[in-house]
Amino acid sequence: MPLPETVFIVNPHADGGSLSARWPRIHRSARRILGNLQVAVTRRPGDAAVLAAAAAARGARRLVVVGGDGTLNEVINALMTLDRPLREEVFLGLVPNGTGCDFARSASIPRDTDHALILIRDMPARPLDVGCILFQDAAGNRSRRFFLNVASFGLGGEVARRVRKSPRALGPTFAFFWATLIAVLRYGKKRIHLKMDGDPVRTWRSWNVAVANGRYHGGGMLVAPDARPDDGIFHVTVIGDLPLSRVFLNLRHLYNGRIQEVKDVSVFTCTRMDAASDFPVLLDVDGEGPGILPSTFSLIPNALHVILPAAPYAASMKRKVFQ
């Protein structure tokens, strides 16, 4: 039997495991709104990538992720391993159900299930840029990972590690906020070395560096207000040598979009960045913690077609209609 062209990749463990209880209702809505579809359910980390690659190779034209940023990142990494002609025939949709859902927030994808499904049914896909990072994994090997939204290192890596281990009873926003408070108190600034495009190496004492393709990370932190996933550049935010008192004083600006106005916060744009440190510095890649510095970040323009709503930056995107 030929594979239906719409395949759902479902992570029942998303959102602290609560998605498993919501999935039957989401499934009924999906069949009502989208019609014929096939469901592939993950059982362990890494399954989403395997299932997505298999579905695309067998002819699925529309892949729909039901989960959070981690599940979406696995699927993106699977698609980016495909030959470009095959990858360009796949349209990626998202029904957000996770702890952070920062890409959905960056791209204005509805959190309401029916609205997200109607968007997937009706809207065209748009080509978005994808970031690629080469880094050192836990075993000390050189590895590669792709990301659609934001990669960061420093405090962001510590926060992501704590969130993965924290209870979610009070919701994702509180989980990220609490993890940030604890990490700020225990982490400390690190000396980092950055080389952007062809510029000379610069050195900072820094709390965190965000390499942004999207706008939000960390469960709603508006770390790169000007970033667009189609503009062909990274937006880099370096939170520099702020004393601890000013970190707490300005923490609210991570959420209200005014972080770039804070003294000792620097912003840059580039298409490639090399980052290193004399200390162990953890990475956070779309909410996952794959390894540490040194790392190289590079941008791949127009790499994936993603189903998105109309947005302030949509007029600059080339539209590709799903037929």
User: How far is residue 146's CA from residue 253's CA, in Å, rounded to a whole number?
Assistant: 28
3-state secondary structure 4-49: CCEEEEECCCCHHHCHHHHHHHHHHHHHHHHCCCEEEECCCCCHHH
Distances (CA, A) of 97 to 21, 43, 71, 104, 112: 12, 16, 10, 10, 10
Report CA dihedral (307, 312, 317, 320) to the nearest 10 degrees.
30
Q: Is-contact 89 31, C-beta < 8 A?
A: no
CA angle 282, 180, 246 (to 5 degrees): 105
Domains of the chain, each with CATH number or no CATH:
6-122 (3.40.50.10330), 131-302 (2.60.200.40)
What does residue 285 show for φ and ψ, rounded to 5 degrees?
-115, 105
Burial of 195 from C-beta contacts in 10 A (0-12 / 13-18 / 19+): middle
CA 147 to chain centre: 6
Which segments in the chain show pLDDT lower than 70?
1-4, 160-176, 185, 311-323
Question: What integer pLDDT is reported at residue 161 of this predicted model?
Answer: 67
Question: What integer pLDDT is reported at residue 1 of this predicted model?
Answer: 45
Question: What integer pLDDT is reported at residue 280 of this predicted model?
Answer: 87
Give the full edge-to-edge strand order of the sheet including 208-212.
Answer: 265-270, 234-239, 208-212, 150-154, 283-285
Tell me the β-bridge partners of 298: 132, 272
Question: What integer pLDDT is reported at residue 32 of this predicted model?
Answer: 96
CA 64 to chain centre: 16
User: How far is residue 182's CA from residue 127's CA, in Å, rounded to a whole number?
Assistant: 38
- 3 state DSSP class of 229: coil
Block residue for tokens 């225990």: 186
Question: What integer pLDDT is reported at residue 287 of this predicted model?
Answer: 76
Question: What integer pLDDT is reported at residue 45 of this predicted model?
Answer: 92
- 3 state DSSP class of 220: coil
Token pair for 304: 């994936």
Question: What integer pLDDT is reported at residue 315 of this predicted model?
Answer: 40
Which H or E run contains 64?
strand 62-67
User: How far is residue 65's CA from residue 307's CA, in Å, rounded to a whole number?
Assistant: 11
Block residue for tokens 């999935």: 23
Q: Is-contact 277 191, C-beta < 8 A?
A: yes
Give per-residue pLDDT as tens, 23-49.
Answer: 999 999 999 999 999 999 999 999 999
